[in-house]
């Protein structure tokens, strides 16, 4: 994983310009361009947002406004393992909020945070209709479902110990 | 028309070869739920096992039948016509299945039903499963039967013949047929689709656009996802028919970011349709020009609102706009636009392939046709079903869904997601029609039905919806973001023992204020709390006046206690995330200040060793003053 500091400077900006070269101003290209950047770097670096703004002909502030409006765009590099916590109703009924408290306490971070060693991050995710697995989390997109509370504690402890959960 | 017949003929050849390869077929169901339940490992095990055993079989993919409670589903169809469905085929069960296939026998332990062919003793037929009884599969007729990544499979089922027919009708005739069918929008507002299409047809301005709203933001609803992933072409065909009726030349399918597989399959479907001349210029040789793209959202509930969706495409934050102008006047790129839900468009091909009379055979006078529902929560069988409008909800929740597991009582039903509310389980017989739900202060909504058993707290669920609405407010109106914030605060208090009797009046006042929000997000945010006041007053009073959560779920109203120095306490102490299970000599107790009420200790200790108790002592309730 490249570090954040490499995501700036002329060479980086050139790479971003190349990545989003096909997008055009005045239309419907902002979100597709942002998705492309997000996919490439795992988040949207500030310098990349500025390059996207230039490419689609919008003020950088407006692009940044759009980025922060959507919950699936990150503006910081992700942790080694992102715990997507399902906030949905089936999960909630089956103890999802307790799962959240367990991850927060075990990892010592709040929703949206990352551990200082960058091993684990917590992200509030939405129900995508895998409710048969409630309550559930996604570890870097991979489902861990039908969790008991003890399961949640164990997963959190493994993440703390540097296991990736795969 | 000859273009279509050529396509169809080619497709039938592909389909026949797939269906009758002259050897046994092993068919796996592939959608986001089966993936979540281990499909990748199952497929790997199948591939490996087939190779290792040297089996001469065809391994094939289909969409899901909606049997999400038993995914991954694998079916075995032998060359002689026997076709059996197996459930819960996780990778570790694949060897047993393949051994049976190798011997030409039934894998008894995994077998669920006979799909077609001869009866098998002791095995029901698929249509006799409780999950199937009462279902009428029209929209879902090909879900689980065809490979959604192969356009020929759809074409071979007379797919796109509705379009071929519509292309030979005038736009006015197409719209008349839509109106006569009674099809209304499935995305929430229940507006007649034909009328909306006519708005766009008669709108001034070029080009005209179509948008398919596949944002499906209601948590607990995944009926749109079902069609996107398992039968993408029925949506494309529906939009093409709408294009014929309205003169639209370009379209967007706006899919929420969470639906990665749906994005992939829709993109694949669009490419294949384009390749067959079903998108682009001179479609089917009948002159129409129309194309479209998938547009991926990025996580924002208000982008499901049609005007939020427009803003999201138009290079901006997805802030809902003020109406008028309506999308038909000024939509995407400020041009005339029609927005419909996935399921709305998907109804059109059924109608045009058949007839108005056929369409109206299902449902009621006011609500013709069928509706898909996704059922989840405290229910035995989680999945997606399709029923005619007007069927009692109990048929779906108790019959197909199997009711609440473990013999617990059905306490509450949550139809329609965060902008709807909660009704008591005693209303389970309500007919599934929008009109039936309104008198109970909720909406039927887009298809999500979530069930809560007696041991769940309804107020906790309502609080969750309020937190959701606050979080997803676009921030434009103070009524909306401030009002929802205030409601969250009040619910936080009520669920932690700080509720006041006046809170109910305050909530009602806030609800009136929220009506003045710009869009339906703010306007409907009060639905859930108002439904709780109306339908769960006793539970609300218990929280407010007695400081008691009857379900013993609200963390601020319960304590954890060591009730007996029994077995499992060392394990409980080890699992506790906060070290709240404290050992003193040979005894254990719970340090209340550290306890986060996560229940992990109670789970690992022997039954009865750790107990949940009310935090506050019973109070003598002073009768509420007459209202
Ligand atoms: C906050 C909010 C969220 C909405 N989410 C959706 C959605 O996810 N899918 C949908 O089809 N309609 C949604 N709607 C309704 C749409 O605004 C619109 O009425 C619908 O897409 C029109 O299609 P229909 O006529 O086919 O129902 C939402 C409305 C609001 C206010
Ligand atoms: S509520 Fe968690 S997956 Fe649906």
What CATH number is attached to the domain comprising B326?
3.40.50.11540
pTM value is: 0.97
pLDDT digits (tens, 9 = 90+) for A20-44: 999 999 889 999 999 999 999 999 9
**B309 and B179 within one domain:** yes
- Whether residue B202 is contained in a domain is answered as yes
Decide: A91 in ligand 2 pocket, CB within 6 A: yes
Distance from CA of B168 to the nearest CA of A (A): 33
Look at residues A110, A114, A94, A45 and name the one whose alpha carbon lies nearest to residue A73: A45
**B576 and B607 within one domain:** yes
**B406 and B336 within one domain:** no
**What residue owns the CA closest to ligand 1's atom 25?**
B185
Distance from CA of A65 to the nearest CA of B (A): 7
Q: Find the closest chain A residue to B310 by CA distance.
A: A28
Distance from CA of B173 to the nearest CA of A (A): 33
- Whether residue B152 is contained in a domain is answered as no
- Whether residue A25 is contained in a domain is answered as yes
Residue A25 CB-half CA count within 13 A: 8
Are the CB atoms for B187 and B265 separated by under 8 Å?
no
**A149 and A94 within one domain:** yes
**B503 and B387 within one domain:** no
Query: Does the pLDDT value for residue A54 go beyond 90?
Result: yes
**What residue owns the CA closest to ligand 2's atom 3?**
A131
pLDDT bracket for residue A165 (50, 70, 90) = low
Which one of A29, A71, A98 has the shortest CB-CB distance to B299? A71
**B581 and B513 within one domain:** no
- Separation between Cα atoms, residue B307 and residue B323, nearest integer Å: 8
Task: Calculate how far, in angstroms, residue B318's C-alpha sits from the geometric centre of ligand 1.
Answer: 13
**What residue owns the CA closest to ligand 1's atom 17?**
B305
Q: How many CB atoms lie within 10 A of CB B262?
A: 30
**A98 and A49 within one domain:** no
**B350 and B244 within one domain:** yes
Are the CB atoms for B525 and B483 separated by under 8 Å?
yes
- Whether residue B71 is contained in a domain is answered as yes
Two tokens, residue A36: 């492309």
What is the per-residue pLDDT for B77? 98
**A154 and A125 within one domain:** yes
pLDDT digits (tens, 9 = 90+) for B399-457: 999 999 999 999 999 999 999 999 999 999 999 999 999 999 999 999 999 999 999 99
- Separation between Cα atoms, residue B177 and residue B183, nearest integer Å: 10
φ, ψ for residue B82 (rounded to 5)?
-75, 140
Q: Find the closest chain B residue to A68 by CA distance.
A: B317
Q: Which of A69, A98, A116 is the last residue of a domain?
A: A69
Number of H helices, E strands in chain A: 7, 4
Ligand with the closest atom to the CA of A146: 2
Mean pLDDT of chain B: 97
What is the per-residue pLDDT for A2? 46
Q: What share of chain B is helix, strand, coil (3-state, %, to 5)?
A: 40, 15, 40
Are the CB atoms for B601 and B586 separated by under 8 Å?
no
Which of A35, A55, A89, A147 should one mutate to test binding to chain B, selecting the residue with the greatest count of B CBs within 10 A?
Answer: A89
DSSP string, B118-138: S--TT--BGGGSTTTTT---S
**A154 and A86 within one domain:** yes
Q: Which residue has the tokens 């022997």?
A: B606
**B299 and B179 within one domain:** yes
- Whether residue A166 is contained in a domain is answered as no
Contacts of A89 in chain B (CB under 8 A): 219-220, 376-377, 414, 450, 461, 464-465
ipTM comes to 0.96
**A142 and A87 within one domain:** yes
**B375 and B329 within one domain:** no
- Whether residue B2 is contained in a domain is answered as no
Query: Does the pLDDT value for residue B563 go beyond 80?
Result: yes
What is the per-residue pLDDT for A27? 83
Q: How many CB atoms lie within 10 A of CB B567?
A: 11
How many domains, chain B?
Answer: 5
Q: What angle do CA B304, B307, B313 make, to 5 degrees?
A: 80
Two tokens, residue B55: 């089996």
- Whether residue A4 is contained in a domain is answered as no
What is the per-residue pLDDT for B316? 78
How many domains, chain A?
Answer: 2
In DSSP terms, B622 is beta-bridged to: none
Query: Does the pLDDT value for residue B166 go beyond 80?
Result: yes
Task: Calculate how far, in angstroms, residue B179's C-alpha sits from the geometric centre of ligand 1.
Answer: 20
Q: What angle do CA B290, B294, B296 make, to 5 degrees?
A: 155
- Whether residue B333 is contained in a domain is answered as yes
pLDDT digits (tens, 9 = 90+) for B585-626: 999 999 999 999 999 999 999 999 999 999 998 876 555 565
What CATH number is attached to the domain comprising A28?
1.10.10
Contacts of B292 in chain A (CB under 8 A): none
**B91 and B39 within one domain:** yes
What's the rounded mean pLDDT across residues A85-97?
98
pLDDT digits (tens, 9 = 90+) for B311-356: 999 977 999 999 999 999 999 999 999 999 999 999 999 999 999 9
Structural domain that includes position A90: 81-160
Distance from CA of B36 to the nearest CA of A (A): 6
H/E run at residue B424: strand B423-424
Residues with Cβ < 8 Å from B90, sequence gap 6 or more? B37, B38, B41, B42, B72
A28:B315 CB<8 A: yes
**A147 and A108 within one domain:** yes
Q: Which of B315, B334, B359 is the last residue of a domain?
A: B359
Bridge-based pairing of strands B24-29 and B57-62 is parallel
B36:A89 CB<8 A: no
**A14 and A65 within one domain:** yes
Q: Which of B84, B104, B126 is the last residue of a domain?
A: B126
What is the per-residue pLDDT for A6? 83
- Whether residue A75 is contained in a domain is answered as no
Which one of B69, B333, B600 has the shortest CB-CB distance to A132? B69
- Separation between Cα atoms, residue B491 and residue B43, nearest integer Å: 46
**B168 and B296 within one domain:** yes
**B394 and B518 within one domain:** no
Q: Which of ligand 1's atoms lies nearest the C-alpha of B214?
A: 9
In DSSP terms, B562 is beta-bridged to: B610
What CATH number is attached to the domain comprising B495?
1.20.1440.230
B596:A132 CB<8 A: no
**B538 and B397 within one domain:** no
A101:B316 CB<8 A: no
Q: What share of chain A is helix, strand, coil (3-state, %, to 5)?
A: 50, 10, 40
pLDDT digits (tens, 9 = 90+) for B263-313: 999 999 999 999 999 999 999 999 999 999 999 999 999 999 999 999 999
Are the CB atoms for B401 and B381 separated by under 8 Å?
yes
- Separation between Cα atoms, residue B190 and residue B134, nearest integer Å: 24
Contacts of A20 in chain B (CB under 8 A): none
Distance, CA of B342 to chain centre: 12
- 3-state SS, residue B222: coil
- Whether residue A165 is contained in a domain is answered as no
φ, ψ for residue B460 (rounded to 5)?
-65, -40
Strand extents, DSSP E, B322-420:
337-341, 370-377, 383-388, 410-415
φ, ψ for residue B421 (rounded to 5)?
-140, -155
- Whether residue A76 is contained in a domain is answered as no
Query: Does the pLDDT value for residue B510 go beyond 60?
Result: yes
Look at residues A61, A43, A60, A50 and name the one whose alpha carbon lies nearest to residue A17: A50
Structural domain that includes position B469: 458-545
- Whether residue A5 is contained in a domain is answered as no
pLDDT digits (tens, 9 = 90+) for B448-494: 999 999 999 999 999 999 999 999 999 999 999 999 999 999 999 99
Two tokens, residue B89: 């085929």
What CATH number is attached to the domain comprising B93?
3.40.30.10
Q: Which of ligand 2's atoms lies nearest the C-alpha of A86?
A: 2
What CATH number is attached to the domain comprising A150?
3.40.30.10
Are the CB atoms for B370 and B183 separated by under 8 Å?
no
- Whether residue B625 is contained in a domain is answered as no
- Whether residue B192 is contained in a domain is answered as yes
Cis geometry, peptide bond prior to residue B476 (ω within 30 degrees of 0): no
What CATH number is attached to the domain comprising B600?
3.30.70.20
Residue A54 touches chain B, beta carbons under 8 Å: no
- Whether residue B77 is contained in a domain is answered as yes
Decide: A57 in ligand 2 pocket, CB within 6 A: no
Query: Does the pLDDT value for residue B169 go beyond 50?
Result: yes
Look at residues B446, B417, B449, B455 and name the one whose alpha carbon lies nearest to residue B430: B449
Q: Which of B83, B103, B126 is the last residue of a domain?
A: B126
Ligand with the closest atom to the CA of B304: 1
Per-residue three-class SS string for A99-124: HHHHHHHHHCCCCCCECCCCCEEEEE
Residue A28 touches chain B, beta carbons under 8 Å: yes
φ, ψ for residue B575 (rounded to 5)?
-85, -20
């Amino acid at each position: 994983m490249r570090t954040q500091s490499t995501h700036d400077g002329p060479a980086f900006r050139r790479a971003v310009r190349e990545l989003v070269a096909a997008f055009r101003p005045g239309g419907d290209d902002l979100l597709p361009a942002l998705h492309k950047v997000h996919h490439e770097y795992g988040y949207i670096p500030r310098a990349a947002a500025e390059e996207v703004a230039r490419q689609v002909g919008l003020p950088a502030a407006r692009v940044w406004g759009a980025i922060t409006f959507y919950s699936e765009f990150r503006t910081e590099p992700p942790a080694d393992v992102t715990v997507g916590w399902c906030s949905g109703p089936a999960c909630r009924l089956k103890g999802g909020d307790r799962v959240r408290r367990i991850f927060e306490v075990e990892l010592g971070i709040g929703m949206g945070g990352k551990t200082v060693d960058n091993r684990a991050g917590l992200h509030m995710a939405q129900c995508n209709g895998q409710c048969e697995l409630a309550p559930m989390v996604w570890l870097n997109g991979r489902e861990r479902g039908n969790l008991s509370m003890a399961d949640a504690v164990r997963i959190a402890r493994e993440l703390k110990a540097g296991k990736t959960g795969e | 028309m000859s273009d279509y017949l050529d396509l169809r003929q080619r497709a039938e050849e592909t389909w026949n070869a797939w269906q009758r390869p002259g050897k046994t077929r092993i068919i796996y169901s592939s959608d986001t739920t089966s993936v979540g339940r281990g499909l990748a490992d199952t497929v790997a095990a199948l591939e490996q096992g087939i190779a290792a055993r040297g089996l001469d079989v065809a391994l094939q993919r289909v969409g899901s039948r909606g049997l999400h409670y038993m995914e991954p589903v694998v079916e075995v169809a032998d060359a002689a016509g026997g076709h059996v469905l197996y459930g819960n085929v996780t990778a570790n069960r694949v060897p047993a299945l393949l051994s049976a296939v190798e011997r030409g026998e039934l894998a008894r332990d995994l077998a669920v039903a006979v799909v077609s062919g001869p009866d098998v003793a002791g095995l029901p037929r698929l249509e006799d499963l409780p999950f199937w009884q009462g279902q009428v599969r029209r929209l879902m007729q090909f879900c689980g039967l065809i490979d959604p990544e192969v356009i020929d499979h759809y074409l071979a089922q007379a797919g796109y013949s509705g379009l071929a027919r519509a292309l030979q009708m005038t736009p006015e005739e197409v719209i008349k047929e839509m109106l006569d069918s009674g099809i209304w929008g499935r995305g929430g507002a229940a507006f007649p689709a034909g009328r909306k299409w006519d708005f766009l047809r008669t709108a001034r301005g070029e080009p005209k656009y179509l948008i398919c709203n596949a944002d499906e933001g209601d948590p607990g609803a995944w009926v749109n996802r079902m069609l996107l992933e398992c039968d993408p072409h029925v949506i494309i065909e529906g939009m093409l028919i709408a294009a014929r009726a309205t003169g639209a030349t370009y379209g967007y399918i706006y899919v929420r970011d969470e639906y990665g597989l749906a994005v992939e399959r829709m993109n694949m479907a669009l490419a294949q349709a384009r390749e067959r001349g079903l998108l682009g210029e001179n479609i089917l040789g009948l002159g129409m020009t129309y194309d479209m793209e998938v547009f991926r959202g990025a996580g924002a509930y208000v982008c499901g609102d049609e005007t939020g969706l427009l803003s999201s495409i138009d290079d901006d934050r997805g802030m809902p706009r003020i109406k008028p102008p309506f999308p038909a006047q000024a939509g995407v790129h400020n041009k005339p636009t029609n927005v419909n839900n996935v399921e709305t468009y998907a109804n059109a091909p059924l109608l045009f392939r058949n007839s108005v009379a056929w369409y109206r055979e299902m449902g009621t006078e006011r609500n013709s046709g069928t509706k898909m529902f996704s059922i989840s929560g405290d229910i035995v069988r989680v999945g997606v079903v399709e029923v005619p409008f007007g069927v009692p909800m109990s048929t779906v929740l108790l019959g197909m869904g199997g009711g609440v597991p473990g013999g617990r009582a059905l306490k509450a039903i949550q139809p329609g997601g965060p902008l709807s509310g909660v009704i008591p389980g005693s209303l389970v017989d309500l007919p599934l029609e929008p009109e039936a739900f309104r008198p109970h202060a909720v909406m039927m909504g887009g298809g999500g039905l979530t069930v809560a058993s007696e041991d769940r707290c309804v107020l906790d669920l309502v609080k969750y919806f309020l937190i959701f609405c606050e979080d997803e407010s676009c921030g434009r109106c103070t009524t909306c973001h401030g009002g929802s914030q205030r409601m969250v605060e009040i619910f936080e208090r009520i669920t932690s023992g700080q509720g006041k009797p006046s809170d109910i009046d305050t909530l009602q006042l806030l609800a009136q204020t929220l009506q003045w929000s710009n869009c339906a997000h703010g306007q409907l945010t009060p639905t859930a709390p108002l439904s709780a006041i109306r339908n769960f007053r006793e539970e609300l009073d218990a929280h407010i006046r007695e400081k008691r959560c009857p379900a013993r779920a609200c963390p601020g109203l319960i304590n954890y206690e060591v009730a007996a120095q029994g077995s499992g306490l060392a394990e409980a102490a080890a699992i506790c995330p906060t070290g709240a299970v404290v050992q003193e000599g040979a005894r254990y107790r719970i340090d209340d200040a550290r306890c986060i009420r996560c229940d992990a200790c109670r789970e690992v200790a022997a039954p009865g060793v750790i107990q949940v108790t009310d935090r506050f002592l019973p109070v003598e309730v002073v009768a509420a003053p007459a209202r």
